[in-house]
A and B are shown apart, each in its own frame.
Chain A
Amino acid sequence: MEIEEQTWELRLYIAGKTPKSVTALSNLKKYCEEHLEGRYKIEVIDLLLQPQLAEGDQIFAVPTLVRKVPVPIRKIIGDLSNEEKVLVGLNIVPLNKI
């Protein structure tokens, strides 16, 4: 599939090191390692440090995961605890199902 050739650009917006954001980040890393090994980039933006960036990606909830590439942009909010929902949300086809 085409998508698999691309490098995934993911951005995780957090507001400080809260338990939720820590959970979200660890969950995200786990899923990416599992399904997008070597083909992903994660950028973590702490809005407490860079509040001006919230407007650009229309962030209103944290943590929010934004899939910048591949387009279209998709957003997942929450601590990403539900793997299936995250995969569906990001449109990642689980490896074990191929």
Chain B
Amino acid sequence: MIDNLSHLQQTDKYKFPKTPTGIKGLDEITGGGLPTGRPALICGGPGCGKTLMSIEFIVRGATEYNEPGVFLAFEEKVEELEMNVASLGFDLKKLQADKLVKIDHVHIERSEIEETGEYDLDGLFIRLGYAIDSIGAKRVVLDTLENLFSGLSNQAILRSELRRLFHWLKEKGVTAIITGERGEKELTRQGLEEYVSDCVILLEHRVANQISTRLLRVVKYRGSMHGTNEYPFLIDEEGISVLPVTSLQLTSEVSSERLPSGIESLDKMLEGKGFYRGSSILVSGTAGTGKTSIAASFANKACTDNKKCVYLAFEESPKQIIRNMKSIGFDLGKHVDSGMLEFHAFRPTVYGLEMHLVAIHKIIRKFDPQVVILDPITNLVTVGSISEVKAMLIRLIDFLQEKQITVMFTALTLNSFVSEQTDEGVSSLVDAWLLVRDIELNGERNRGMYIMKSRGMKHSNQVREFVISDEGLNLVDVYLGPEGVIVGSAREAQMLHEETGLALRGHALNRKNREILRKKKVLEAQIANLQTEFESVEEELNKGYMEEELKKEIFERNRNEITNIRRGIDGSGESKNSPQSK
């Protein structure tokens, strides 16, 4: 399903003149449009959109490329045609009044016509020529030429006239579309493809699993490269959009800009900054693990940061999501009102997968968001097999990456055992993968979140407990106890337990400190005691010594006095008595 179309644009060297159809996607497939000045054939079964595609070619030419066009209708009347395409916003009446479009109904009714002998279709040529000349048309549509075959019986004349007609168209230099009914063995019932050999586009309407998909294929395009695959296309109120399968050359731009997830603690696990811009993020988990809440949080954050966001819901209605997210503190309704957020909710079974892709493309092209959320991709499996879903998502991611849009998918994993293996097989494609899972313990269920992978950044390897509260989402470190991961109330208990332990330990520590302090005080007291004791002893000792000195002194003095007295010497006659005393 994947090919690359980029080479189609690179044919500038030998520029093949092409006329853009203005139909979204078709010009990419054909590398610029239909061959200028040549007829192209659009064939397909009834109701596959041939007339619509050809009229859009005319209208777009007139309105966007300033190329007037002639629509020669063999099937519908002018009024019918005007009514039919009014629902697509094409105002044929006005375009005709402005001389940009001319519609001519060629009425062929077999019962009113008798054929005798030789004739030719010069009448048609003249009519067409007149119409072309009257408005200077560059584009012509003949829808459906095969009605001529039912109206006229002379096949030999018809065939030679058709050949002449296409020749004449080429001479006129108009870019023409001829529509034809799909035949059983050939592309068209009347073998028109043998006359129009330049470009043949086949439209199909295929029903698989009760879901119809419109498909377009360029069967041949002489002189030009073209995409050869079947491309799904969508008809809605804005006309046709064909989905070109974009190239998977892996050459898309990368950005190092980061987008916060809206959950601060989650950003912390991602280097504190969040996801890369233009990356794809998968949030997978079992039912009720809060995938939508994570997605809503991301959307909320993006809108708050003035980034446009598209929320594609496949499960809940927008109102339901807005109401539910209000309960956890995200006011998404406010962003919807301010035009930053756009909800698109559809049941997966509305379209086939390809159509979903086309629809998503269209929404994104129109709104030009920076963030896209798909919630959940799991439901898409109801309209296709896993491999088809994967192929679709590859292309979606590719498209978004090219546009530098960050996308978040949520995916439901039914069985937690296989959750790490397959998530629609996209886990290998995405840049970041968050896994939310239930941790059942002690009779309660709690949510745990892991970052399975996050390309290009350091990310935490820890399991966090994922808590949803009125204030939003938060991640809490889980406790790894001997029995494994402890979460929820067990975690709370564990925390309490640890807090008590901490208090006790602190208390014990305090007591020891005081003990030491007391010991110190006692010792200090003892030291002071000894000091005073020493002082008193010292004093005592000093006292004896002094007394001794004093005694000695007094004794000396006394002895001298006595000696003197013995010599009979008074104080004045000392010298007289001194020899006797000796």
**Residues of A with Cβ closer than 8 Å to B?**
13, 15, 20, 23-24, 47-48, 51-52, 54-55, 58-64, 72-82, 85-86, 88-89
Which A residues touch B129, using CB under 8 A?
Answer: 51
- CB pair B126–A73 under 8 Å, yes or no, is no
- CB pair A74–B122 under 8 Å, yes or no, is no
- CB pair A75–B126 under 8 Å, yes or no, is no
With known contacts A61-B152, A74-B112, A75-B112, A54–B126 Cβ distance under 8 A = yes
- CB pair A58–B116 under 8 Å, yes or no, is no
- CB pair A58–B107 under 8 Å, yes or no, is yes
In Å, the complex CA distance between A54 and B107 comes to 12
In Å, the complex CA distance between A37 and B436 comes to 98
- CB pair A51–B127 under 8 Å, yes or no, is yes
Interface centre among A54, A74, A80, A81 (most CB of B within 10 A): A54
Closest to B157 in A: A61
Partner of B117 from the list A15, A47, A79 (CB cut-off 8 Å) is A79
Partner of B116 from the list A55, A62, A72, A85 (CB cut-off 8 Å) is A85
B125 CB, min distance to chain A CBs, angstroms: 8
A-contact 0/1 string along B104-148, CB 8 Å cutoff: 101110001111111111111011011000000000000000001
In Å, the complex CA distance between A85 and B119 comes to 15
- CB pair A60–B114 under 8 Å, yes or no, is no
A67 CB, min distance to chain B CBs, angstroms: 10
With known contacts A15-B126, A47-B126, A51-B130, A62–B118 Cβ distance under 8 A = no
B361 CB, min distance to chain A CBs, angstroms: 41
A-contact 0/1 string along B236-249, CB 8 Å cutoff: 00000000000000
A76 CB, min distance to chain B CBs, angstroms: 4
- CB pair A61–B119 under 8 Å, yes or no, is yes
In Å, the complex CA distance between A70 and B7 comes to 64
- CB pair B117–A82 under 8 Å, yes or no, is yes
Partner of B127 from the list A23, A60, A72 (CB cut-off 8 Å) is A60
Partner of B106 from the list A58, A74, A76 (CB cut-off 8 Å) is A58
In Å, the complex CA distance between A48 and B114 comes to 23
- CB pair A79–B118 under 8 Å, yes or no, is yes
Which A residues touch B126, using CB under 8 A?
Answer: 15, 47-48, 51, 54, 62
Which A residues touch B115, using CB under 8 A?
Answer: 76-78, 85
A-B contact pairs, 22 of them (CB 8 A): A13-B123, A20-B118, A23-B118, A47-B122, A47-B123, A54-B127, A54-B130, A55-B104, A58-B107, A59-B127, A61-B122, A72-B112, A75-B113, A76-B113, A77-B114, A77-B116, A77-B119, A78-B115, A80-B117, A81-B117, A86-B114, A88-B114
B29 CB, min distance to chain A CBs, angstroms: 34
Which A residues touch B113, using CB under 8 A?
Answer: 75-77
- CB pair A61–B116 under 8 Å, yes or no, is no
- CB pair A61–B127 under 8 Å, yes or no, is no
A24 CB, min distance to chain B CBs, angstroms: 8
Closest to A89 in B: B114
Partner of A15 from the list B116, B122, B152 (CB cut-off 8 Å) is B122
5 further A-B pairs in the complex, CB-CB below 8 A; given A48-B126, A64-B119, A77-B114: A51-B129, A54-B126, A61-B124, A77-B119, A86-B116
Name B's interface SS: mixed
B105 CB, min distance to chain A CBs, angstroms: 8
Which A residues touch B104, using CB under 8 A?
Answer: 55
- CB pair A81–B118 under 8 Å, yes or no, is yes
Which B residues touch A81, using CB under 8 A?
Answer: 116-118
In Å, the complex CA distance between A86 and B111 comes to 14
- CB pair B127–A76 under 8 Å, yes or no, is no
With known contacts A58-B106, A58-B107, A79-B119, A85–B114 Cβ distance under 8 A = yes
Interface centre among B107, B120, B148 (most CB of A within 10 A): B120
Closest to A76 in B: B114
A30 CB, min distance to chain B CBs, angstroms: 13
- CB pair B106–A60 under 8 Å, yes or no, is yes
In Å, the complex CA distance between A82 and B118 comes to 10
In Å, the complex CA distance between A73 and B120 comes to 21
In Å, the complex CA distance between A88 and B116 comes to 11
B74 CB, min distance to chain A CBs, angstroms: 9
Across the A-B interface, the 10 shortest Cβ-Cβ residue pairs: A89-B114, A81-B117, A51-B130, A79-B117, A15-B122, A60-B124, A78-B117, A59-B123, A82-B116, A78-B116
Which B residues touch A13, using CB under 8 A?
Answer: 123
In Å, the complex CA distance between A77 and B485 comes to 92
- CB pair B123–A54 under 8 Å, yes or no, is yes
Which A residues touch B130, using CB under 8 A?
Answer: 51-52, 54
Which B residues touch A82, using CB under 8 A?
Answer: 116-117
Closest to B74 in A: A60
Which A residues touch B107, using CB under 8 A?
Answer: 58
- CB pair B118–A78 under 8 Å, yes or no, is yes
Interface centre among A20, A77, A89 (most CB of B within 10 A): A77
Closest to B113 in A: A75
With known contacts A47-B126, A51-B126, A55-B127, A61–B114 Cβ distance under 8 A = no
In Å, the complex CA distance between A36 and B328 comes to 94
B576 CB, min distance to chain A CBs, angstroms: 190
Which B residues touch A20, using CB under 8 A?
Answer: 118-120
- CB pair A89–B122 under 8 Å, yes or no, is no
Closest to A19 in B: B118
Closest to A57 in B: B123
In Å, the complex CA distance between A59 and B121 comes to 9
Closest to B131 in A: A55
- CB pair B123–A89 under 8 Å, yes or no, is no
Which B residues touch A15, using CB under 8 A?
Answer: 122-123, 126
- CB pair B127–A63 under 8 Å, yes or no, is no
Which B residues touch A55, using CB under 8 A?
Answer: 104, 127
Partner of A80 from the list B106, B116, B122, B123 (CB cut-off 8 Å) is B116
- CB pair A62–B112 under 8 Å, yes or no, is no
Which A residues touch B123, using CB under 8 A?
Answer: 13, 15, 47, 54, 59-62, 64
In Å, the complex CA distance between A12 and B123 comes to 12
In Å, the complex CA distance between A54 and B121 comes to 12
In Å, the complex CA distance between A15 and B148 comes to 19
